[in-house]
Structure 1
Amino acid sequence: MGLTIIEREAIKNKVVEALKNVYDPEIPVNVYDLGLIYGINVDEEGRVNIQMTLTAPGCPIAGMVIASAESAIKEKVTEAKEVYVNLVWDPPWTPLRVTSEGREALKRLLGYDLVEEWIKATS
């Protein structure tokens, strides 16, 4: 018998918390709040599948960020039987994916609202 929906949701919440401790070394905002996590799935057996992107294709630190995400989940989410982080490029990342927490962190860091500026520049 597999995990219940409630158990899977609890694992998913722990995965989110683990990912909030993983940072893109070039941007001091965690990968979750930066909007790099496109999907988190926990199956009935406790396998965790993450769909993740990066801010730009060809990122030289891609392997490091993926390994950090896998490591953080394995360390902090003991219920996860297996962890898979899949790098995806579609749809391309834009600042619109940044969470409200990430947006505030970027405002403090940059001194302006990156999302607002991106919208102006692309309108």
Structure 2
Amino acid sequence: MSDTVIDTEALGEKIVRVLKTIYDPEIPVDIYELGLIYDVLVNEDYDVKILMTLTSPNCPVAETLPLEVEEKVKSLDAVNNAEVEITFDPPWSQDLMSEEAKLELGML
């Protein structure tokens, strides 16, 4: 048994920082603040699974955005592998946006 404790919380924060560098091409707000990221899971092998959605099923970046998320998260030293799963359940709505995103878009 190893003595190393995986600080998944710190890794989770690093992942969130990376996610905040990825923007929806149609909205000048990052995908995290937009509420497109539903869950970030990290296991003891440093494998990351991200459950995310898109603003709509026919989003113009439906093919490229998940790949960008995977690549950027995989680029973190502590991450072994990253997988993105797209879901539309629940469907994305403006209610999922952070206050910061709503403010940025003049919705508050």
Output the TM-score relative to the length of structure 1: 0.80
Change (3 A) 1:36 1:3: farther
**Are the counterparts in 2 of residues 37 and 51 from structure 1 also a CA contact under 8 Å?**
yes
- What pairs with 1:27-42 in structure 2 (closer than 5 Å)? 27-42=27-42
Change (3 A) 1:104 1:43: same
Work out whether 1:96 is the aligned partner of 2:91: no
How many residues matched?
107
RMSD value over aligned CA atoms? Answer: 1.7
**Corresponding residue for residue 74 of structure 1:** 74
Deviates more, 1:54-63 or 1:41-50: 54-63
The one-letter amino acid of 1:56's match is S
Q: 1:98, 1:2 → 2: CA distance?
A: 39
**Corresponding residue for residue 5 of structure 2:** 4
Q: Which SS does the other structure have where 2:48 is aligned?
A: strand
Task: Note the alpha carbon deviations across 1:6-37, whole angstroms, 9 max, x for none.
Answer: x1111111000000000111111100000000
Q: Which SS does the other structure have where 2:28 is aligned?
A: strand
Higher helix share: 1
Q: Which SS does the other structure have where 1:69 is aligned?
A: helix
Deviates more, 1:58-67 or 1:34-43: 58-67
Segments of 4+ moved more than 6 angstroms: none
The one-letter amino acid of 1:68's match is E
**Corresponding residue for residue 105 of structure 2:** 106
Q: Tell me the CA shift for residue 60 of structure 1.
A: 2.7
Q: Tell me the CA shift for residue 3 of structure 1.
A: 6.4
Q: Which SS does the other structure have where 2:63 is aligned?
A: helix
Gaps of 5+ in 2: none
**Corresponding residue for residue 57 of structure 2:** 57
